[in-house]
Amino acid sequence: MKQSLIEQFSVLLGKQYVLIADEDKAPYLTDWRKRFTGKALAVLLPKTTEEVSAIVKLCGSSHIAIIPQGGNTGLCGGATPDNSGNQVILNLKRMNQIREIDAVNQTITLEAGCILQTIQENAAAKSYLFPLSLGAEGSCMIGGNLATNAGGTNVLRYGNTRDLCLGLEVVTAQGDIWNGLKGLRKDNTGYDLRDLFIGSEGTLGIITAAVMKLYPLPISQWTTLVATDSIVSAISLLNLFQKRAASLLTGFEMMTQESLALNEKHFPQMANPLKGNPPFTILIELSDHESEEHVRQLLEIILEEAFTANMISDAVIASNLSQANSFWHMREHITLAQAEEGANLKHDITIPLSSLDRFIKETDALMRQKYPGVRMINFGHLGDGNLHYNIAPPLGSDPKVFNQTHEKAIYELVFAQVEVCQGSISAEHGVGQLKVGDLRAHKGVIAHELMKTLKRALDPQNILNPNKVVSI
């Protein structure tokens, strides 16, 4: 039966787009963090929405589950198959056409396999900004961004991927093609199907195309790194910038001393330009549509006010684009430094800003008391209250053994604290296979049951990314 299915895929897509040899499948079977590895009957590389639809119908009639995959940069194992060898990976990288840029409507219609950076570059070439931006932008794809409702570094001003999307084309679990590719900013016609598929991590439908918003390209951007000695000061600084710069504030990222020390250990060229690597380094970006001088002056006035109020102790303003880029590279390299350092426990939580200081102080204290020597590699999108609260094993311990022994208890400790502070256990990375049990434990019974009801209704055969997000 499996052989005949592979033959049918080959007839449909062409033999070269049905990968069955182990060495061909291998790059698709392990997640970016190398935390999950699975097996697959085949990796399928369709070129059109009609091909995706036909694949789903074939899989449906053979009870073969489908794992949608984009750039495979997800951090929760959502795009990795299980170990049965009975699932197929449907990778959308060949569906990479920009279908239309509508200058009047300020929208771009594109296929799911378009790489995020390519979208940004195409938009910029026409003097538009496509504001979604994240460290994996050179390889993640818009279908994956939509499926995970990715956040990144511009959320403060432009919102999550969900906020940037106006319409979707989706292949349902039955293989039907839903064409919701309208570029409308208002549409109150019943339940919002678009928002249902966004963030569903491939469990409710396969996103094949989308209409996304474009914005005018800012004419100037100023980037600065500042030093603060506490989270309280960092949040006061954020509030000051929000008040004085309002919508010109496009980035507000936090990096701790420990996270930048780890960066420097693995990437010496990424050393913090602020003297003495202070307790907290904040990366701030202002963008303007008026003039370079206007935003530069505003930045200087706000920084002066912050110095006077003792919120900050040092600041470096990037003098040119290349220095600004180097500040951002330093921020984005922390994830890579963590990967170099070896196995670690990553968290991606949101806490109301008013409770963030309490969360960090109490959780750090509990963590140090229970696991002496652990290192907190914390950084994140402070402007969104989104903290990457990461735990690295004590120096000298075997990271794999440490994680195997303590992972469950550490996750529980962090998530219990998140609950006390009324936060979320996943701000932007999603649930995937990593946090299925945690979602069950922390989402609330009613919300979790409603999610399962939706999954059963839309995918009664459970063939789309089964056992990711929710198990039914």
Mark the segment that binds ligand FAD (CB under 6 A) among 16-24, 71-79, 288-296, 439-447: 71-79
Binding partner of 77, given ligand FAD, ligand MLT, none, CB within 5-8 angstroms per partner class: none
Using CA atoms, how far apart are residues 391 and 295, in angstroms rounded to an integer? 38
**Nearest approach, Cβ of 348 to ligand MLT (angstroms)?**
6
Closest to 116 in 3D by CA, of 85, 152, 68: 152
Site mask for ligand MLT (CB under 6 A), range 237-276, x = bound = ----------------------------------------
Using CA atoms, how far apart are residues 346 and 349, in angstroms rounded to an integer? 10
Q: Decide whether 41 or 434 has the Cβ nearer to ligand MLT.
A: 434
Q: Beta-strand (E) ranges in 106-186?
A: 107-111, 128-129, 165-172, 177-180
Residue 443: strand, helix, or coil: coil
Which residues partner with 252 through β-bridges?
A: 284
Cβ neighbours of residue 288 closer than 8 Å, sequence gap 6 or more: 218, 219, 220, 221, 248, 294, 295
Q: Which of 157, 388, 435, 442 binds ligand MLT (CB under 6 A)?
A: 388
Residue 297: strand, helix, or coil: helix
Q: Is 399 in the site for ligand MLT (CB under 6 A)?
A: no
Site mask for ligand FAD (CB under 6 A), range 91-110, x = bound = -x------------------
Q: Is 202 in the site for ligand FAD (CB under 6 A)?
A: yes
Looking at residue 269, the DSSP 8-state letter turns out to be G
Q: Decide whether 335 or 403 has the Cβ nearer to ligand MLT.
A: 335
Site mask for ligand MLT (CB under 6 A), range 130-169, x = bound = -----x----------------------------------
**Nearest approach, Cβ of 189 to ligand FAD (angstroms)?**
23
Using CA atoms, how far apart are residues 89 and 96, in angstroms rounded to an integer? 17
Residues in the chain: 472
Closest to 211 in 3D by CA, of 221, 225, 198: 198
Side-chain half-sphere of 209: how many Cα atoms within 13 Å?
Answer: 26
Mark the segment that binds ligand FAD (CB under 6 A) among 16-24, 143-151, 243-251, 287-295: 143-151
193, containing H or E segment: helix 193-197
Residues within the interface to ligand FAD (CB under 6 A): 32, 67-75, 78-79, 92, 112, 134-136, 140-141, 143-145, 147-148, 150-152, 201-202, 206-207, 335, 428-429, 432, 465, 468
Residues within the interface to ligand MLT (CB under 6 A): 135, 335, 348, 388
